[in-house]
Amino acid sequence: MKPLSAHRPAKAATIRDVAAAAGVSTMTVSRVVNKEATVRPGTRDRVLAAIERLNYSPNLAARILTGAQQIRIGLLFTNPSTNYLSALLVGGLDMASQLNVQMIVQKCQPDNHAIAVARQMIASGIDGLMLPSPLCDSAALIAAIIGEGIPALAIGSGTPSPDLLAVSIDEFAAARTMMRHILSLGHRRIGFVVGNPDHSESRRRLDGYRAALREAGVGVEDALVAQGQFTYRSGLDAAEVLLDLADRPSAIFASNDDMAAAIVSVAHRKLLNIPGDLTVCGFDDTTLATAIWPELTTIRQPIAEMARAGVELLSAEIRSRRAGNAFAAPHLVLGHDLVRRQSEGTWSDRHEGDAPRKA
């Protein structure tokens, strides 16, 4: 009997294999495959010879079916918040329909699995990739995509890579805006629930929380900072930690609405009145913020608008590359808004006649 390895087909050649064999960049191979007129005849001949020698197949059938000028954009995601993903898809698909862009959505896990999925999508004829957080912060994934010679865009990164197009808000400023508001209500003992530590925006929001406290002359207490993961479940756990403190906070600011909603749930179970006993604020302004009682005061992050802008930016770069033109990779920063609702109250509402405390 032959060993199993003898029955395995030879590994398919990749665009990088062709580029190495022809002594060119993966971008040049992509231009030859797309029959762009900007490649020199001698270079084109070398690339075509390498393609034939390696039996490289860039999924020509898919390219023929979709048309030479149509753009195919892939969206990879691993964010656990379905509310965030829903807003992202609404905006992205809306702009894709306006620009005659085909958008393909694929779930993946971080690190090696994300790299494998990205390469599969590129091999299928994807022209560009959109990477929401935390995928847009993965140096290994970014390097792999750049190595394949296609453009990519980061959505929501706190510290976007200079090698990518990017759309985000100022996470630090947004968190500081919320904290300044909570402080203006008289609260001084303010809890904070951090998002997933692998997300760069989690760190920037924590920095904004701390900066606002220092700005107000309030000490930063480690006991008032609980770790979350951007999931409802992690918000439940963080709420238990913060609300079981002997000197519990009078307000809690969570890094997203999912975790803030979980805090509201735990507070209700502990018979705490919101906002009378506890102010709870979130971040994102997803549909969940107005689906619970009381409705959440939160930071409105324009998730759908970010996705629309992302599709537009990425499509513009793809078209510029096809035309052989340079395209500067901009970092577009959109605005944020503080949205006040019923989950907030003043410190004096709870401690009438007393002066606000400082930690």
Q: Does position 209 have pLDDT exceeding 70, yes or no?
A: yes
Full 3-state SS string of the chain: CCCHHHHCCCCCCCHHHHHHHHCCCHHHHHHHHCCCCCCCHHHHHHHHHHHHHHCCCCCHHHHHHHCCCCEEEEEEECCCCHHHHHHHHHHHHHHHHHCCEEEEEEECCCCHHHHHHHHHHHHCCCCEEEEECCHHHCHHHHHHHHHCCCCEEEECCCCCCCCCEEEEECHHHHHHHHHHHHHHCCCCCEEEEECCCCCHHHHHHHHHHHHHHHHCCCCCCHHHEEECCCCHHHHHHHHHHHHCCCCCCCEEEECCHHHHHHHHHHHHHCCCCCCCCCEEEEEECCHHHHCCCCCCEEEECCHHHHHHHHHHHHHHHHHHHHCCCCCCCCEEEECCEEECCCCCCCHHHHCCCCCCCCC
Residue 220 pLDDT? 93
Instruction: Write down the architecture of domain 1-58 according to CATH.
Output: Orthogonal Bundle (1.10)
How many angstroms separate the Cα of 2 from the Cα of each of 7, 9, 10, 11, 69? 8, 14, 16, 19, 47
Average pLDDT rounded to a whole number, residues 141-153: 94
Name the CA dihedral angle for 174, 176, 181, 184, rounded to a multiple of 10 degrees. Answer: -170
Torsion of CA 104, 107, 111, 117, to 10 degrees: -50
CA neighbor of 177 nearest in space, from 166, 169, 165? 169
Residues 289-330 pLDDT 10s: 999 999 999 999 999 999 999 999 999 999 888 888 877 768
Same topology between domain 1-58 and domain 171-301+339-350: no
What tokens does 123 get?
A: 């091999």
- pTM for this entry: 0.76
Spans of all domains in the chain:
1-58, 171-301+339-350
The answer to whether the CB of 101 falls within 8 A of the CB of 72 is yes
pLDDT digits (tens, 9 = 90+) for 254-299: 999 999 999 999 999 999 999 999 999 999 999 999 999 999 999 9
Task: Quote the CA–CA distance of 88 and 307 in Å, as a whole number.
Answer: 6
Least confident of 58-67, 68-77, 200-209: 58-67
The hierarchical CATH code for the domain 171-301+339-350 is 3.40.50.2300
